């Protein structure tokens, strides 16, 4: 409905400020959408309210008999509240970070949204831990008991937790994640284990098991363990497979894995390419059917790609016979299109086949059948996220695709047979012009964007502007992207 489009254009889809959402500001952080910002505000507000409400002084008090009286008592209560809330937020931290987060199954929120919330909750939980520690430090310094208290196990473990959480924040900023992602994951996991262990021993040494504070730690461990067990189960279900690598051009390769089914995206492990056998990366599934005799375009000796271009206007008899031949020779498997930049993906170019572990499948596709018109805007390898939608859509499907070179377009031509395609090779697509033309038809439309962050942000801003200014248009924005 038109009013839903207008509501989303004002309160949900646009960046909270400025015009960039996927493109980081100063290379340091991402601006949340307005919808995400509302939820982040709620998280901050509820933590402030819960930190400040419900304190009552009861004097005389054997626990707080100091000369400070009720002031010292309330300050101690406040510090304890910060500590308890920090524990509670640890549960959310582990829940939001997991690939097998149950909230992903209960909502239509993306994994990227939950990772964004994970980072904000991390700041909140760390601030609460720091305040908890700083207030008690001041109390014990004021009472003259700091020297004796600081030697006790509960105090030492409390310091360990606060330090680890404080180190995790600056060690997890975007430039670190982007440049040293695998090392970031390693020390992130290591310090997180210290945080959980430290929280447990801090409570055990201070209160034993009197008040149940350790239950927050148990819950966080259970969520983390569930996610890891599910990852292992997905890997075990698929087993060790063989990945076949086909060069497309100097920028792209295709990886085919026979005998694996799934949709959405999958995490691929190439244990023979690196000593970091745990290293894995997410890739969108481009196809779930592989040709038995020829898994794809053949690579010539000069590095070019030989692709048979098939026109969507092929007559019915030829199309039917081609379809029967294809079905007869088809095999179940997953096909991925990768851009080889550096690191592990660059090493793939030097191999024809290798062992691979496939953790699949994640991110089932959203049902867009309620929209008569599907407009996909893709950049480069982003085409892989669009393909399943283009194939399954029951209405009119159009693709506007920008690529660095002709090789990838030729390689994907057979998969796009029957789809209305407009390509832009080594040139800039006028996104505003494209969308204005499509919306001018007055058809209920869904726009799917998958590509570079700048492209995604431009599509988001154009749709938001048209939704706010135009009357009667019905449009939905779907963004397919992985987040750091």
Give average pLDDT by consecutive 10-residue segment, the chain, 484 residues. 89 95 92 97 97 83 63 87 97 96 90 95 98 94 90 96 96 90 90 97 92 95 97 95 92 92 90 89 86 42 31 40 49 89 84 94 84 95 92 93 91 88 92 91 91 95 92 90 70
Are the beta carbons of 365 and 385 closer than 8 angstroms?
no
Beta strands in 328-468 (DSSP E): 330-339, 353-362, 373-379, 396-403, 420-425, 445-450
CA distance 248 to 411: 7
Nearest in space to 233 (alpha carbons), one of 101, 360, 94? 360
Backbone angles phi, psi at 310, to 5 degrees: -120, 125
Nearest in space to 118 (alpha carbons), one of 30, 9, 213? 30
* 119 Rama sector, left if φ>0, alpha if ψ -120 to 50, beta otherwise: alpha
DSSP-derived letter for residue 365 is: P
CA distance 143 to 161: 24
pLDDT value at position 329? 62
CA distance 14 to 34: 6
The strands making up 445-450's β-sheet, listed across from edge to edge, are 420-425, 396-403, 373-379, 445-450, 475-479
Residues 6+ apart with CB under 8 A from 479: 22, 110, 448, 449, 450, 456, 459, 460
Are the beta carbons of 129 and 82 closer than 8 angstroms?
yes
CA distance 344 to 270: 8
Residues 6+ apart with CB under 8 A from 354: 242, 243, 245, 270, 272, 273
Residue 151, Cβ neighbours under 10 Å: how many?
9
Q: What sign results for the dihedral spanned by CA atoms 381, 384, 387, 389?
A: negative
Are the beta carbons of 360 and 260 closer than 8 angstroms?
yes
Query: Helix (H, G, I), strand (E, B), or coil: what is residue 18?
Result: coil
DSSP 218-254: HHHHHHHHHHHHHHHHHHHHH-EEEEEEEE-SSSEEE
pLDDT value at position 312? 39
* 366 strand-pairing partners: none
């Amino acid at each position: 409905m038109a009013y839903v489009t207008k509501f989303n254009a004002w309160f949900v889809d646009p960046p909270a400020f400025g015009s960039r959402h996927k493109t980081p500001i100063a290379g340091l952080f991402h601006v949340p959408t307005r919808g995400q910002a509302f939820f982040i505000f709620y998280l901050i507000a509820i933590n402030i309210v819960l930190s400040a409400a419900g304190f009552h002084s009861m004097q005389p008090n054997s626990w707080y008999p100091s000369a400070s009286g009720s002031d010292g008592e309330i300050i101690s209560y406040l510090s304890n509240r910060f500590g308890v809330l920090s524990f509670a937020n640890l549960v959310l931290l582990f829940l939001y970070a997991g690939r097998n987060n149950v909230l992903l199954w209960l909502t239509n929120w993306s994994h990227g949204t939950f990772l964004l919330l994970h980072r904000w909750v991390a700041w909140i939980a760390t601030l609460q831990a720091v305040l908890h520690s700083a207030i008690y430090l001041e109390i014990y310094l004021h009472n003259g008991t700091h020297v004796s208290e600081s030697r006790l196990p509960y105090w030492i473990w409390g310091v360990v937790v606060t330090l680890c959480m404080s180190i995790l924040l600056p060690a997890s900023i975007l430039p670190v994640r982007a440049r040293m992602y695998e090392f970031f994951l390693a020390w992130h996991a290591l310090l997180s284990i210290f945080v959980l262990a430290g929280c447990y021993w801090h409570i055990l040494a201070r209160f034993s098991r009197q008040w149940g504070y350790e239950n927050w730690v148990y819950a966080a461990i259970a969520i983390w363990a569930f996610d890891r067990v599910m990852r292992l189960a997905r890997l075990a279900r698929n087993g060790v497979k063989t990945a076949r690598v086909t060069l497309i051009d100097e920028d792209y390769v295709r990886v085919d894995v026979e005998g694996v089914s799934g949709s959405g995206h999958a995490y691929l492990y190439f244990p023979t390419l690196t000593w970091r056998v745990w290293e894995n990366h997410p890739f969108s599934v481009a196809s779930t059917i592989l040709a038995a005799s020829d898994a794809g375009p053949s690579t010539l000796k000069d590095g070019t790609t030989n692709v048979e271009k098939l026109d969507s206007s092929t007559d019915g008899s030829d199309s039917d016979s081609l379809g029967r031949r294809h079905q007869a020779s088809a095999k179940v498997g997953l096909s991925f299109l990768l851009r080889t930049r550096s690191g592990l993906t660059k090493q793939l170019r030097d191999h024809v086949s290798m062992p691979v572990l496939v953790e699949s499948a994640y991110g089932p596709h959203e049902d867009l059948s309620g929209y008569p018109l599907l407009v996909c805007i893709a950049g480069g390898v982003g085409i892989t996220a669009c393909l399943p939608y283009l194939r399954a859509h029951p209405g009119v499907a159009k693709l506007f695709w920008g690529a660095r070179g002709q090789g990838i377009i030729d390689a994907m031509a057979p998969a796009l047979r029957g789809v209305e395609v407009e390509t832009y090779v080594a040139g800039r697509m006028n996104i505003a012009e494209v969308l204005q033309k499509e919306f001018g038809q007055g058809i209920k439309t869904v726009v799917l964007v998958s590509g570079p962050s700048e492209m995604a942000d431009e599509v988001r801003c154009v749709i938001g502007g048209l939704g706010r200014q135009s009357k009667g248009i019905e449009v939905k924005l779907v963004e397919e992207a992985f987040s750091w």
